[in-house]
Structure 1
């Protein structure tokens, strides 16, 4: 039987670093056994995100290749983005598809809500599978046009070993989409 854990008491919270995009918070915590520790995390922004695995009627996955400052190279992954204020995850998924690959989807199936690194971030990303695509383009916020890459679903194993396809969220989304597509 699993013991029910009591979350630690937050004794103090303060911003210790700030940039244009991020704030780092320091949390003074007291655990149920009396131990006290200082943890750091990205200050919660209250905004979540979406990632979409679009599949064409011909059985192709639609991916984008875009520059990633963290790795300082172009990465291959699925369309993704933040949920705007007042927008649902479903609406954000369809908007991001239109902005990044020039297609909307008549069918969006939520696969799972994931967290990138729960020790440091609280933001969640909802992963979707998109079917029944139709052409529609919206202006996005990317600094350059994204490279659209079609990849046959029946060659997804090769995608998993592709050097440019390394983002954990894209790999997770692909594996969940393949599980759904195979009927498991």
Structure 2
């Protein structure tokens, strides 16, 4: 409902919780149905998915390319091209999670980090917050063990690196990922033509 009289004024539309009931709890998510009182005193229900929060990383090589992941997303029934990302563990700081996920998921270490932004990807029904970081001065751990190897040198030794799949990796028991490196301009083109539809990736690349 839109109040035509309010114009550009800011109003407090806070909804007051009356009662709440947890109807589902999984390994990651929790679904709660809450009864709330609206600003006009009417009462309605809100279904909210609780999520522990996550991080996403924009790993940028010295060639202005982005290290991304291609994986199958069962929820949408298709393969997607995304930024590396992961879920926060309980009590974990986002930057610590970002560094851990980058190494665990795509075997890359970054020596320079910058916080870009935090977003609510679906605030209409979910409280998930995603913290997005830019990662530079990359080391490829998959090519040189834990000592790391400069990504620029690694790229020079791989034929057609800008378009080819670099590594097929089973990063977790139920997660299969292809690591790919794509020029930043090409990533932006894929966003504009609809090939990339993942929200955190679009924000991280275009901000």
Q: 1: distance between equivalents of 2:188 and 2:10?
A: 39
Is residue 100–residue 140 contact of structure 1 (8 Å, CA) maintained in 2?
Answer: yes
Give the aligned length: 174
Q: 2: distance between equivalents of 1:64 and 1:19?
A: 25
Equivalent residue for 2:130, pick from 125, 135, 156: 125
Structure 1 partner of 2:45: 38
Is residue 74–residue 164 contact of structure 1 (8 Å, CA) maintained in 2?
Answer: no
Task: Provide the secondary structure at the position in 1 that maps to 2:56.
Answer: strand
Structure 2 partner of 1:72: 77
Structure 1 partner of 2:67: 62
- Once the two structures are TM-superposed, the CA of residue 15 in structure 1 deviates from its matched residue by 1.6
Q: 1: distance between equivalents of 2:95 and 2:25?
A: 31
Task: Provide the secondary structure at the position in 2 that maps to 1:146.
Answer: strand
The structure-2 alpha-carbon separation of the partners of 1:145 and 1:70, relative to structure 1 and needing over 3 Å to count, comes to closer
1:108 has 2:113 as partner: yes
Is residue 109–residue 128 contact of structure 1 (8 Å, CA) maintained in 2?
Answer: yes
- Once the two structures are TM-superposed, the CA of residue 87 in structure 1 deviates from its matched residue by 2.2
Structure 2 partner of 1:23: 30
Is there any run of 5+ residues in structure 1 with no aligned partner, and where? Answer: 177-184
The structure-2 alpha-carbon separation of the partners of 1:119 and 1:109, relative to structure 1 and needing over 3 Å to count, comes to same
Tell me the alpha carbon deviations over residues 120-178 of structure 1, each in whole angstroms, 9 at most, x when there is no partner.
Answer: 111200011111111336984253542111111233332214554211121111111xx
Structure 2 partner of 1:181: none
Q: 1: distance between equivalents of 2:27 and 2:91?
A: 22
Structure 2 partner of 1:149: 180
Structure 1 partner of 2:202: 171
Which stretches of structure 1, 4 residues or longer, exceed 6 Å deviation after superposition? none
Q: 1: distance between equivalents of 2:102 and 2:18?
A: 42
Is there any run of 5+ residues in structure 2 with no aligned partner, and where? Answer: 1-7, 147-169
The structure-2 alpha-carbon separation of the partners of 1:107 and 1:97, relative to structure 1 and needing over 3 Å to count, comes to same
Q: 2: distance between equivalents of 1:142 and 1:162?
A: 33
Q: Return the TM-score normalized by structure 2.
A: 0.75
Q: 1: distance between equivalents of 2:65 and 2:109?
A: 15
Query: Who wins on radius of gyration, i.e. which is larger?
Result: 2
Deviates more, 1:64-73 or 1:1-10: 1-10
Structure 2 partner of 1:11: 18
Structure 2 partner of 1:180: none
RMSD: 2.2
